[in-house]
Amino acid sequence: MKKTVLFSMALVAGSALAAPKGEITVWSWDVAAKALEATIPSFNKKYPDVKVKVVDLGNQNVYDRGLAGCAAGGADLPDVYSVENGEAEVFWARFPNCFVDLTTLGASKYINAFPAFKWTELSVGNKRYAMPWDSGPVVMFYRRDLYKQAGVSAASIKTWDDFIKAGQKVNAKFGGKVKMGVVANGQDDEWFRMLANQNGCFYFDNDAESVTINKAGCVDALNTIKKLYDAKVVQTGDWGGQITAFKKGDIATSMFGAWYEGTIRSNAPELSGKWGVFPMPAAKKGGVRAANLGGSALALPASSKNKEAAYAFIEHALATNEGQVAMLKQYGLVPSLLASAKDPYVNQGQKYWGNQKVWKTILDTLGDVPAARGTQFFQEARQVMVVTQADFISGKYKTAKEALDAAAKQISSITGLPIAK
């Protein structure tokens, strides 16, 4: 009896110096969750005594339960929490004590290891509440075989007008059965965000001080979506619908953040070699052909019982080439760790993509992405925009400007931020 007490006291005393051990839980979603799982083997080589359990709750659920957990003073939260950059700020604004400031655990040495724009939404003053993970440079994933059959060449699609012309050719060839994309109209406003960001416009300005959703770049973005619908080159569908559509060959193109590469590859292994990638079409000739959609970070809830092990996991997955490149290889998550872009893997042709060097194509757009900031009002602005876009597509407004003026007014009254002059 006495012996065991002594023995366990020795354990307690030793644990401050020894390697982390015990079990940690990680919350994430879809491909991101699988990617984190892919880093566990190399993590366990370094830390054999830590057991990592990744739970895939689905994207919206992670957010909802995270907020609810913070509101309940840190109850029901995991040890490592995935958060999208765009919607991260609401956490730090409303619950400044819900997550650990990672600089207290030694994250300061990584500040220059990531691009500055990835830190913006994760920092408050000198505090850094989460570590950057991936980014979502937007590209077009296309079916080489279907393009070829319709007589369309990906290289000739330089503007959205070219894209519509290509879509009409595809329509003519397949009798309208194959579309050039799936828009989650009525469910989400991803297309609007991608196109607006490409035009250097977003819900708010980058200082989070005014509403900018009715500026010219956003108006143009919304108009383009309407044009795509009017030309009948896109169909409507949600996340699951788009996966079904590309598996069945009902779409010849998918526009998304580059992390969608893993979604396509893991859901449709049978289509290996039939896919390729090209940069987004520009608004007009010679315009920007890059945007960013999504991209996430990992945070460490203050209620975690095993912060050392949790931080070790975050550090290994995000701040080492080993972790980031493992996620890129298996699930196509684009590293925001600067050193990873130089990894030899990036310059290799990818078998699934017809031996195209897709990662080079994708990472080359990163430098052209206009900065955009979600702010703590991201979700609310998005809800307004989802409805505005659906209403505009269904013909409720005469012009895109009129629709976005209404949206700006509503977002302004919700957030208390003025509409930019």
The helix/strand/coil state of 246 is: helix
Token couple for 369: 């992405």
Q: Is 361 in the site for another protein (CB under 8 A)?
A: no
Residues shown for the chain: 421
Q: Is 27 in the site for another protein (CB under 8 A)?
A: no
Segment near another protein (CB under 8 A); pick from 153-161, 204-212, 236-244, 284-292: 236-244
Q: Is 236 in the site for another protein (CB under 8 A)?
A: yes
Name which position in 42, 168, 244, 356 contacts another protein (CB under 8 A): 244
* Distance of closest approach, residue 387 Cβ to another protein, in angstroms: 4
The helix/strand/coil state of 83 is: strand
Token couple for 243: 């996966």
* Beta carbons within 8 Å of 130's beta carbon, 6+ residues apart: 83, 88, 99, 102, 122, 297, 298, 299, 300
Nearer to another protein, 186 or 354 (CB): 186
Token couple for 125: 């003053």
Nearer to another protein, 306 or 389 (CB): 389
Q: Is 90 in the site for another protein (CB under 8 A)?
A: yes
Nearer to another protein, 281 or 374 (CB): 374
Segment near another protein (CB under 8 A); pick from 114-122, 148-156, 212-220, 375-383: 375-383
Q: Is 250 in the site for another protein (CB under 8 A)?
A: yes
* Distance of closest approach, residue 151 Cβ to another protein, in angstroms: 26
Range 177-196, binding another protein (CB under 8 A): 185-187
SS3 content of the chain, % helix, strand, coil (to 5): 50, 15, 35
Report the distance separating Cα 213 and Cα 219, nearest Å: 8
Name which position in 48, 73, 96, 418 contacts another protein (CB under 8 A): 96
* Distance of closest approach, residue 49 Cβ to another protein, in angstroms: 37
CB atoms within 10 A of CB 266: 14
Q: Is 67 in the site for another protein (CB under 8 A)?
A: yes
Give kind and range of the element (H or E) at residue 214.
none
Nearer to another protein, 236 or 330 (CB): 236
Report the distance separating Cα 299 and Cα 122, nearest Å: 9
Q: Is 413 in the site for another protein (CB under 8 A)?
A: yes
Q: Can you give the three-state secondary structure of 104-157, one letter per residue?
A: HHCHHHHHHHCCHHHHHCCEECCEECEEECEECEEEEEEEHHHHHHHCCCHHHC
Name which position in 154, 271, 366, 390 contacts another protein (CB under 8 A): 390
Segment near another protein (CB under 8 A); pick from 47-55, 164-172, 300-308, 384-392: 384-392
Nearer to another protein, 49 or 64 (CB): 64
Q: Is 64 in the site for another protein (CB under 8 A)?
A: yes
Name which position in 55, 68, 75, 116 contacts another protein (CB under 8 A): 68
Token couple for 379: 């979700």
198 backbone dihedrals φ, ψ, rounded to 5°: -60, -40
269 DSSP assignment: G
Nearer to another protein, 40 or 381 (CB): 381
Report angle CA 188, 293, 122 to the nearest 5 degrees: 110
Tell me, by CB under 8 A, how many residues bind another protein. Answer: 30
Nearer to another protein, 250 or 368 (CB): 250
The helix/strand/coil state of 30 is: helix
* Distance of closest approach, residue 189 Cβ to another protein, in angstroms: 10
Q: Is 61 in the site for another protein (CB under 8 A)?
A: no
* Distance of closest approach, residue 234 Cβ to another protein, in angstroms: 12
Segment near another protein (CB under 8 A); pick from 153-161, 303-311, 360-368, 390-398: 390-398
* Distance of closest approach, residue 286 Cβ to another protein, in angstroms: 35
400-415 and 378-393 are packed helices; what angle lies between their axes, rounded to 10 degrees?
A: 150
Closest C-alpha to 138, from 298, 282, 341: 282
Q: Are 174 and 180 in contact (CB under 8 A)?
A: no
State the residues that interact with another protein by CB under 8 A.
Answer: 63-64, 67-68, 71, 90, 94, 96, 185-187, 236-237, 241, 244, 250, 379-380, 383-384, 386-387, 389-391, 394, 410, 413-414, 416
